[in-house]
């Protein structure tokens, strides 16, 4: 089964987006672990909305584009990883290990739709 | 009730992630992978007993490792054969607790995992035993899961595994990495086992138990682990590339009616782009490092993967790759494939010139694809009577009903 792990961070807190060398080291160890376990298919980290972002919304057929940075404080996706695992419990275990790298974070675990 | 089930599946997930490392670490301590696997299983049982009530430890992998190693030390003490079984301490008269503590604190090094892979795929074992041990020790699969994957009874797999462990112990296979001339042959055996597991899953049909396709995932996982452990080995990356690209076609290989769809007829929109991207990246690494037979097969698969439509396939490149493959590992099957590629690149006459010498090949006697391909080439050349005879011959050789009907249909086409 293929899962996507996404973590969400506070867009308005710059400190979260400028990780310390200690955090980068911990993060690197995790990525190496999940990579060497043969389960990681792809991963990317995202920049906060101040780096360039937009929201495109269609309401009753009318398109509006709102450019970033987002003024009001909100949680945005900080990055994602795609994992090939045997079952839900394994995806959750990898997500727990990832979440443990942070003091405050929300990690969402979702099933990737695949052709059968 | 559900809380208990959740805790159990969470522990089992930890187990699947950590099993290979724990078994490998304990095997270095006790020098026997069979014993190591049992000790690791004991640690899992302890986790299932303790974690639901006491909570999951902060570092569950380290907990499993320490628990299994402690049991290993107890076993060694009981057996009083310390010198024999504890290579790290060999030759020392006394073993005090501080030395045991040192063993407990050793970090599992990656070499242990590599030793485990090489031991599970050791040539003293029969191929089916290598497969079972690899799935059990590297994949953390249960006997029941392996049995379902291979459509055999549980007891058969259980026996296969216990015999394999005994065979390794009887042959006194050391928990070491092969060196020198032995190394290449042993690596070949490891790669063969991974490919065998993959193909067992890949050949499964739509109606089969879900465990069979899961074998493909298992093989790919072990392949990727191996690539991480042996980044300088071209053929490891070549095999990984081959598996990723072959697996990318899984969803397109069968039609809605469950029938097999051939490569050139597949709906390429159903190919998995992520796996293709990964496969092409692995292939680039393999080619940079030199390559070999798996790398060449991956390069052929990549030619198909790169073509947006079947018509855009680079057949001259494929024919060239088959020629290199035939040089490196000559086989009538490779030559038959080369004949097809040459016919696509240079026309049916050129293909027939490659194919006809194979008529003398004893290994292909009774192989229905030879007359079937030959019939197709003759048909394209307008030699319909000969083509018909070949299709009829092929139909008489295949055991597959659907295939026989298809071939007889083609034979009739020759008359029309």
Range A52-73 average pLDDT: 90
Taking contacts as CB-CB distances below 8 angstroms, the residues of chain B near A42 are 274, 278
* Other beta carbons less than 10 A from residue B177's beta carbon: 15
Least confident of A10-19, B275-284, B376-385: A10-19
B405 band by pLDDT with thresholds 50, 70 and 90: confident
Taking a C-beta distance cutoff of 8 angstroms, is the pair B237, B283 a contact?
yes
What is the model's pLDDT at position B151?
84
Percent of chain B with pLDDT over 90: 68
Answer whether residue A87 shows pLDDT above 50. Answer: yes
The answer to whether B221 contacts A84, with C-beta atoms less than 8 Å apart, is: yes
Nearest CB among A35, A36, A93 relative to B13 is that of A93
Nearest CB among B14, B225, B272 relative to A38 is that of B225
Tokens representing B6?
A: 């959740």
The answer to whether B224 contacts A38, with C-beta atoms less than 8 Å apart, is: yes
Beta bridge partners of A7: A79, A107
Q: What is the DSSP string of A30-90?
A: HHHHHHHTT-EEEEEE---GGGS-EEEEEETTEEEEEESS-SS--EEEEEEEEEE-SSHHH
* Better-predicted residue by pLDDT, B412 or B398: B412
Range B141-150 average pLDDT: 88
* Better-predicted residue by pLDDT, A97 or B180: A97
Least confident of A55-59, B34-38, B190-194, B207-211: B207-211
The pTM of this model reads 0.89
Taking contacts as CB-CB distances below 8 angstroms, the residues of chain B near A86 are 16, 214, 217
Nearest CB among B225, B229, B274 relative to A41 is that of B274
Look over chain B and give the mean of its residue pLDDT values, rounded to a whole number: 89
How many angstroms from the chain centroid is the CA of residue A41? 14
Give B48-97 pLDDT, tens digit per residue.
Answer: 999 999 988 888 999 999 999 999 988 888 775 555 555 555 444 445 55
Q: Would an 8 Å CB–CB cutoff place B59 in contact with chain A?
A: no
Taking contacts as CB-CB distances below 8 angstroms, the residues of chain A near B214 are 86
What is the model's pLDDT at position B157?
93
The answer to whether B13 contacts A115, with C-beta atoms less than 8 Å apart, is: no
Tokens representing B86?
A: 């504890």
Answer whether residue B1 shows pLDDT above 50. Answer: no
Least confident of B8-22, B88-102, B173-187, B209-223: B88-102
Taking contacts as CB-CB distances below 8 angstroms, the residues of chain B near A39 are 221, 224
B152 band by pLDDT with thresholds 50, 70 and 90: confident
Answer whether residue B41 shows pLDDT above 60. Answer: yes
The answer to whether A86 contacts B217, with C-beta atoms less than 8 Å apart, is: yes
B366 band by pLDDT with thresholds 50, 70 and 90: confident
The answer to whether B217 contacts A42, with C-beta atoms less than 8 Å apart, is: no
Looking at chain A, which residue has its C-alpha nearest residue B221? A38
Range B168-190 average pLDDT: 91
What is the model's pLDDT at position A111?
97
């Amino acid at each position: 089964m293929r899962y996507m792990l996404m973590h969400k961070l506070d867009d308005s807190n710059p400190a979260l987006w400028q990780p310390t060398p200690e955090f980068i080291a911990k993060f690197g160890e995790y990525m190496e672990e999940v990579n060497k376990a043969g389960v990681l298919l792809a991963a990317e980290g995202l920049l906060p909305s101040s780096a360039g972002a937009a929201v495109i919304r269609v309401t009753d057929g009318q398109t509006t584009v709102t450019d970033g940075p987002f003024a009001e404080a909100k949680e945005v996706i900080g990055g994602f990883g795609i994992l090939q695992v045997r079952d839900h419990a394994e995806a959750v275990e990898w997500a727990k290990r990832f979440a443990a790298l942070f003091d405050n974070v929300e990690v969402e675990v979702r099933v990737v739709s695949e052709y059968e | 009730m559900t809380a208990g089930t959740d805790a159990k599946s969470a522990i089992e997930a930890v187990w699947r992630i950590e099993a290979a490392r724990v078994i490998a670490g304990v095997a270095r301590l006790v020098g026997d992978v069979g014993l190591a696997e049992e000790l690791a299983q004991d640690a899992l049982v302890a986790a299932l007993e303790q974690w639901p009530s006491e909570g999951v430890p902060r570092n569950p992998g380290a907990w499993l490792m320490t628990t299994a190693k402690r049991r290993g030390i107890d076993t060694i003490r009981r057996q009083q054969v310390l010198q024999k079984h504890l290579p790290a301490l060999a030759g020392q008269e006394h073993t005090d607790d501080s030395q045991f503590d040192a063993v407990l604190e050793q970090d599992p090094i990656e070499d242990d995992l590599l030793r485990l892979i090489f031991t599970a795929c050791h040539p003293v074992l029969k191929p089916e035993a290598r497969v079972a041990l690899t799935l059990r020790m590297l994949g953390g699969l249960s006997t029941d899961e392996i049995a379902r994957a291979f459509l055999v009874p549980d007891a058969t797999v259980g026996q296969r595994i216990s015999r394999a462990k005994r065979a390794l112990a009887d042959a006194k296979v050391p928990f070491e990495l092969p060196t020198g001339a032995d190394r290449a042959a042993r690596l070949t055996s490891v790669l063969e086992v991974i490919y065998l597991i993959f193909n067992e899953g890949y050949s499964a049909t739509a109606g089969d138990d879900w465990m069979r396709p899961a074998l493909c995932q298992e093989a790919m996982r072990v392949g990727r682990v191996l690539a991480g452990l042996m980044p300088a080995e071209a053929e490891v990356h070549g095999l990984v590339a081959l598996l990723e690209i072959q697996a990318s076609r899984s969803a397109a290989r069968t039609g809605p009616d469950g029938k097999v769809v051939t490569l050139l007829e597949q709906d390429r929109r159903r190919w998995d782009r992520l796996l293709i991207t990964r496969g092409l990246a692995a292939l680039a690494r393999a080619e940079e490092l030199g390559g070999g037979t798996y790398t060449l097969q991956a390069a052929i698969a990549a030619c198909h993967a790169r073509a947006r439509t079947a018509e855009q396939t680079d057949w001259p490149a494929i024919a060239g790759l088959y020629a290199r493959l035939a040089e490196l590992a000559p086989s009538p099957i490779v030559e038959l494939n080369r004949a097809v590629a040459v016919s696509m690149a240079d026309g049916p006459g050129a293909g027939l010139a490659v194919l006809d010498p194979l008529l003398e090949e004893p290994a292909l006697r009774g192989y229905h694809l030879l007359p079937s391909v030959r019939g197709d080439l003759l048909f394209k050349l307008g030699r319909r009577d000969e083509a018909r005879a070949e299709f009829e011959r092929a139909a008489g050789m295949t055991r597959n009903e659907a295939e026989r009907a298809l071939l007889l249909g083609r034979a009739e086409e020759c008359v029309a």
